[in-house]
Structure 1
Amino acid sequence: MSDAETYAERLFAASMSTYETFGVYAGLRLGWFAALADESLTSTELAERTSTQERYCREFCEFMASLGTLTVTTGSPTSRRFALPPGPAEVLLDEQSLNYLGPLGRMAVAAGRRIDDLLDAYRTGGGVSWADLGNDARESQAALNRPWFTRRLGPALADVPDLHAELGRAGARIADVGCGGGWSALALARAYPDATVIGLDVDEPSISAARSAAEAEGLADRVSFVLANGATLTELGPFDAAFAFECLHDMPRPVEVLTAIRDAVRPGGPVVIMDEAVDDEFRAPAGEIDQCMYAFSLFICLPDGLSSSPSAGTGTVMRPSTLADYARHAGFSAVTVLPISDFGFFRFYRLS
């Protein structure tokens, strides 16, 4: 097989995966998958259950069955019964599962909606902000990270004894910088019941969603969320510890943010950055994590970071050496990798 034929096969498979992603997005937004997880339905029953049109339901069900996502009984086109089996149902619908990837397509759709703006940015500079990408982007990121924070963050930190002891101090004040939808802050509060947690973010809809989540989780007495500006962190300090979960690479001026964190945390207090577990150096072909992060970077994170000027233009693929350089310029003397493994695509760094 020629190189052209090999790449043609790969590109065809990638294109088909794109349409599968769009199908998943439609199936989730229209309630088709949720209905088919409850019981097997004909396309007519699915249309009635979800207030959608039968002919489109039939095409969706046959498409997903052709991919093996749905099971199907034999029969005429309108008598076939379709169902979503437990495995795909967990991945698509179970918001607490570590296998939950249902919202992944929302990020791709968010970028797709702004493709003309992205192309303009690639030509002339500037970017496309998180606010421009809208609810599909912000809500999908929060939803994808939620099970990892809810189920794994507390135990992961407990496995680092000195960090665990500092976070568990009575009356500890913990800052969650770039908190997004708030699930990391809520996880910190559950893990350390003697602490108060303050989440900060520049995105107003995310702060609103975080406040609602705190109320729903019964943690609003110990977790608060603040719409941040450049001076907010210093004004709210001092803190006993600070975290920045998967957000530093999005920030246009990461050194300024790290400097503000250093100034706001008491001397010796832990500063922890969780970011993507990319390779130490660029290589091509790259591993799956780097490939995935380059995809997010080109269409989501780098345009967001470059939407504000001046900008470091970090992008999602923030190598450990890049973070170490930012930390050094912010006044930190050391960056160490914490012994936390098996935490999705992420790596934890402690700055001191």
Structure 2
Amino acid sequence: MEVERDKLREQIMRQAQGALSMSIAYIGIVNRLFAHLADADSVSPKWLAQKTGMNTDYVARWCDAAYAFEYLEQPVENIFGLTPLGHAFLDDQPGNLISFAVQSMLSAHMAERAAGLMRTGECPGEKILNEWETILPWFGPMLEHMFGPLLKNEIIDRVPAFSEVDAQGGTIIDLGCGNGWYLRAIIGSYPKLRGIGLDGIGENIDQAVKAAEREGLTNRLTFAVGDIYNFHVDEPANLIAMNRSLHHVWDQKKKIFTILRDHLCPGGSVVIWEPNWPLEYENLRIPDRRALAFQNLSEHVLGNHFLHADEIVAELKAVGLKPEVFSIAGGRDVVITGTRSK
């Protein structure tokens, strides 16, 4: 029994070390410490503090911790440079690891809030996201790094609605567009498409506009702060996308699905991408599904919950849209299209 306890203790200690490493990485990301280290090669904590506008003592202690977790090397005393692992947290690196650090910190905050709210039953809602001023600017980039590769590798070419709309030179509306990563990827793949992105958070829209400018897409992309319950477009859309946002408004599903149908042109489609809450409860024990269960607890803090694919299909049918289901990411996620008859 004592040997077994020692093994369990070692296992938990390794997991705790991983959480600590993500905390150190998060600080380096949001304060641009990694970025400035990459630009300057090897620097002192004092120089790094001056370049970033941070307190020298805090930066020095962060350098110690980043060195301990092998993000930094120290070629000479009190001079630091990035290791290959540190380079992996630069936002201009393909396949970077930023999302892991941001998600880890967000999860810790949500766990703390859930621990307290569990005593009262309160669900504060989406406003809770504004509590964390260092996380909010990185929320969109986190989603982009986490799900952008999945969109490009498993969804864009597989879901025919995108190419069909592109052939018409049509318009796609993204409701809850975040920093615009989804629309930018779709527009970048289909040269005839035009896009409109709406989101309720101004920070997200600012990021979306700047990213579209960097990528030279402003002639085909428009972003604005908008309300999913009350938006207006000049003409019906060829495609309306809801990217991992439907569960946020599920309590108003009858209204939402009516709005979606009424804003589609004949033959147009809604494309809904959602986490896929499993019908078989034991599937939550599958290692790559465990995070889904924690995320669903976090969603409860926001007043939401993840959905079964069958629930979405039923609502599409109820408003006269023809559904088609695409299982992605090994079944962890699902894309469901609903097409309006011509």
Q: TM-score range by the shorter chain?
A: 0.7 to 0.9
Do the aligned partners of 1:157 and 1:163 also contact (CA within 8 Å) in 2?
no
Query: Given the alignment of the two structures, is residue 204 of structure 1 paired with residue 198 of structure 2, yes or no?
Result: no
Q: Give the strand-richer structure, 1 or 2.
A: 2
Alignment of 1:236-255 (within 5 A): 237-253=235-251, 255=253
Query: Given the alignment of the two structures, is residue 127 of structure 1 paired with residue 123 of structure 2, yes or no?
Result: yes
Do the aligned partners of 1:43 and 1:57 also contact (CA within 8 Å) in 2?
yes
How far did 1:178 drift? 1.5
Aligned to 2:73: 71
How far did 1:337 drift? 0.9
Aligned to 1:314: 305
The CA deviation string for residues 147-194 of structure 1, in whole angstroms up to 9 with x for no partner, is 577777467555337434312123312111211111212222222332
Among 185, 188, 203, the residue aligned to 2:186: 188
The unaligned stretches of length 5 or more in structure 2 are none
Among 164, 169, 175, the residue aligned to 1:166: 164
The CA deviation string for residues 281-336 of structure 1, in whole angstroms up to 9 with x for no partner, is 3226623332222233323x3322x1xxxxxx324xx3433433444455445341
User: Structure 2: how far apart are the matches of 1:248 and 1:194?
Assistant: 27
Query: Given the alignment of the two structures, is residue 351 of structure 1 paired with residue 342 of structure 2, yes or no?
Result: no
Aligned to 2:266: 267
Alpha carbons of structure 1 residues 103 and 153: separation in structure 2 relative to 1, 3 Å: closer
The CA deviation string for residues 254-289 of structure 1, in whole angstroms up to 9 with x for no partner, is 623233212322333232222236655322662333
Do the aligned partners of 2:173 and 2:197 also contact (CA within 8 Å) in 1?
yes
Do the aligned partners of 2:63 and 2:80 also contact (CA within 8 Å) in 1?
yes
Do the aligned partners of 1:327 and 1:335 also contact (CA within 8 Å) in 2?
no
Q: Secondary structure at the match of 2:98?
A: coil
Question: What amino acid is aligned across from residue 288 of structure 1 in structure 2?
Answer: P
TM-score by length of 1: 0.77
Aligned to 2:101: 105
User: Structure 2: how far apart are the matches of 1:19 and 1:236?
Assistant: 50
Question: What amino acid is aligned across from residue 348 of structure 1 in structure 2?
Answer: V
Question: What amino acid is aligned across from residue 262 of structure 2 in structure 1?
Answer: D
Among 87, 92, 103, the residue aligned to 2:89: 92
Do the aligned partners of 1:103 and 1:144 also contact (CA within 8 Å) in 2?
yes
Question: What amino acid is aligned across from residue 172 of structure 1 in structure 2?
Answer: G
Aligned to 2:212: 214
Alpha carbons of structure 1 residues 331 and 234: separation in structure 2 relative to 1, 3 Å: farther
Do the aligned partners of 2:117 and 2:123 also contact (CA within 8 Å) in 1?
yes
Q: Aligned-pair RMSD on alpha carbons? A: 3.6
Q: Secondary structure at the match of 2:296?
A: helix
TM-score by length of 2: 0.79
Aligned to 1:224: 222
User: Structure 2: how far apart are the matches of 1:46 and 1:147?
Assistant: 26
How far did 1:93 drift? 0.8
The unaligned stretches of length 5 or more in structure 1 are 307-312
Alpha carbons of structure 1 residues 258 and 203: separation in structure 2 relative to 1, 3 Å: farther
Question: What amino acid is aligned across from residue 31 of structure 1 in structure 2?
Answer: R
Identity of aligned residues (%): 22
Alpha carbons of structure 1 residues 226 and 100: separation in structure 2 relative to 1, 3 Å: same
Alpha carbons of structure 1 residues 230 and 209: separation in structure 2 relative to 1, 3 Å: same
Alignment of 1:272-287 (within 5 A): 272-276=271-275, 279-283=278-282, 286-287=285-286
Alpha carbons of structure 1 residues 22 and 155: separation in structure 2 relative to 1, 3 Å: closer
Question: What amino acid is aligned across from residue 242 of structure 1 in structure 2?
Answer: I
Alpha carbons of structure 1 residues 94 and 61: separation in structure 2 relative to 1, 3 Å: same
User: Structure 1: how far apart are the matches of 2:18 and 2:150?
Assistant: 30
User: Structure 1: how far apart are the matches of 2:204 and 2:7?
Assistant: 43
Q: Secondary structure at the match of 2:89?
A: helix
Alpha carbons of structure 1 residues 145 and 226: separation in structure 2 relative to 1, 3 Å: same
Do the aligned partners of 2:70 and 2:83 also contact (CA within 8 Å) in 1?
no
